[in-house]
Amino acid sequence: MRQFPLEMHGMAPGRVVEWRLRSTAAGPEPSAEGPGRRASFNQDKHFTVAEQSRGADDPVASWLAVTFEVAGALDESAMTRALLAFVRRHEVLRCEFRRLAGELACEPLAPGELALSVAPVAAFDTTRALVGFLSERFKRSIDTLSWPLFTMGAVLREDSATVYLAFDHIVCDGLSMPIAVQQVQSAYEALCRGEEAGDAPDPSYLDFAEDQRRRCAGITADDERLGYWQEFVARGGGEFFPRFPLDLGVEPGRMYPIVNEASPLLDAGETEVFDKACRAVDGKAFMGVLAAVAVCLREAGGPGVYRGFMPVSERGPDGWAQSVGWFVNTMPIEFDASPGRDFAQVMAGVRAAFGEMMGHLDVPFVRAWQLLAPVDFAARSWPYPVNFFSYIDTRKCPGAERHDDWRPASHVWSARANGACSWFQRDADGLHMNSIYVDTPAARRTMAGFQAALRRTVREIARHGSLGRPLGLAAPRGPVGAALAVSGSGYAARR
């Protein structure tokens, strides 16, 4: 399972149907005493930005989606029941968000108060027309301020179907995508066998959010729990956000159309060898990728010390493993990748920095941002291009043993941005990269050079266990600018 632009999906054309969720109840009534359930820090910031953007007639536009394949003619009745069971399992998907007395409330509908019906939408003869339609459909149907916060549909053919689910970030994260595939497909296959789908609730993200608020709402700017963040900011000259160090050709305060592209870095065999090379120096594959990124940025003109943000899952080894929600904390990481350090030395720095970072997950990113950079926090986007690294090994995700059959893929989109953001995925076929960045001549040159250098570097590590010779990249000069927001959520995205 990998992440790539929806436009790169070669899904066969067919007849499109969509499932429409509705409430059979009158709707949740606001409590006179305030919200009964409160949104998480991530959700509150995301919703606030959407409110501010709507008020300024500059709406945020972004979505996350997943697609997967069903063999044979689709049983629409069984899929309807499977999708409804999925929604009933996850309280966050049944939530309507409301601003009440300054607080963002989550008011979930009861599982029994939901109904789902399927309706025909359109038919297409070409892949290009189909994918273009779906892309526009997602843009128009995903709205942070309106329930439901996701859309579900399928492309039907005589002997197969492609099912899709697209979400607003406020109800899910990247790891929610394989969970959705596994749960919907398993329920559908059970129903086709004449068994029950199973819709017992999974542990709720709303409980996670409530616990997080209880632990962290009282943190102040001088709280010792912010020490890790404060030291990181001090080493960066007082800047809360670590800058993307290469020239993207952006002007301050200006938003740009995006380039959304994906490409392979290593095939399956090369990735296995790369993994072994990383383990030979007491590291892991994601650490090796991060080390390679740091060296490539430095050789392209960046600093010797890598400073960046890294999203970290807060699901833990158990408890929330099957839950849908935004279980992500974005953390700063810093290590030495200066000239003269060999692969083992850079990896040792990554390993130590990652261990230190993981010891400070108790403070949510949004809370640290609010306390340590209040001026930036009041804005609708990050202030300049931010260095951002994300890695997922989808072989470890729920349902991975069936990915060859289901052929799932994830997709992200944002309307506009003023920086760059990259995601790395490892699956059974190898190591892959998906990047969204501003569509400027400088950014195209910079990102093309960076991606080529990174591909050479990870292959050098796989073949020789070393970083290889200097990469010879031009050292770009010019302004640096801003990226997408929390965990690549798209706070900087505009229509």
The model's pLDDT over 303-345, given as tens digits with 9 standing for 90+, comes to 999 999 999 999 987 789 999 999 999 999 999 999 999 999 9
Among candidate residues 113, 357, 385, 367, the one with its CA nearest the CA of residue 248? 385
- 311-338 core/surface letters (b: 16 or more CB in 10 A; e: else): bbbbbeeeebbebbbbbbbbbbbbbbbe
pLDDT tens-digit map of 63-111: 999 999 999 999 999 999 999 999 999 999 999 999 988 889 998 999 9
- Contact criterion met (CB below 8 Å) for 46 and 414: no
Note the pLDDT of residue 34: 45
The pLDDT assigned to 479 comes to: 33
pLDDT at 28 over 90: no
Q: In this structure, what DSSP letter does residue 101 have? A: T
* 161-181 confidence digits (pLDDT tens): 999 999 999 999 999 999 999
- Report the pLDDT value the prediction gives residue 26, as an integer from 0 to 100: 65
User: What is the pLDDT, as a whole number, of residue 380?
Assistant: 85
Is residue 32 over pLDDT 80?
A: no
What fold does the segment set 221-488 form as a domain? Answer: Chloramphenicol Acetyltransferase (3.30.559)
Per-domain boundaries in the chain: 2-209, 221-488
Domain 2-209: give its CATH superfamily: Chloramphenicol acetyltransferase-like domain (3.30.559.10)
Whether residue 476 has pLDDT greater than 70: no
Q: What is the reported pLDDT for 25?
A: 82
- Asked if the model's pLDDT at residue 59 lies above 80, the reply is no
pLDDT at site 33: 44
User: What pLDDT, on a 0 to 100 scale, did the predictor assign at position 488?
Assistant: 37
* pLDDT for the residue 489: 33
Say which residue, 36 or 273, is predicted with more confidence: 273
Per-residue confidence band for 481, with pLDDT thresholds at 50, 70 and 90: very low
The pLDDT value recorded for residue 495 is: 33
Q: Which pLDDT score, from 0 to 100, does residue 491 have?
A: 29
pLDDT of residue 58: 65
Q: What is the mean pLDDT of residues 114-136?
A: 97
At 36, is the pLDDT very low, low, confident or very high (cuts 50, 70, 90)?
A: confident
Strand partners, 431: 266, 426
- pLDDT > 70 in the chain, percent: 91
Q: Do domains 2-209 and 221-488 have the same CATH topology?
A: yes
**Arithmetic mean of pLDDT over the chain:** 91
Q: Which of 332, 364, 335 is nearest to 225 (CA)?
A: 364
pLDDT in tens, 388-423: 999 999 999 999 999 999 999 999 999 889 999 999
pLDDT digits (tens, 9 = 90+) for 334-363: 999 999 999 999 999 999 999 999 999 999
In whole angstroms, give the CA distance from residue 5 to residue 352: 34
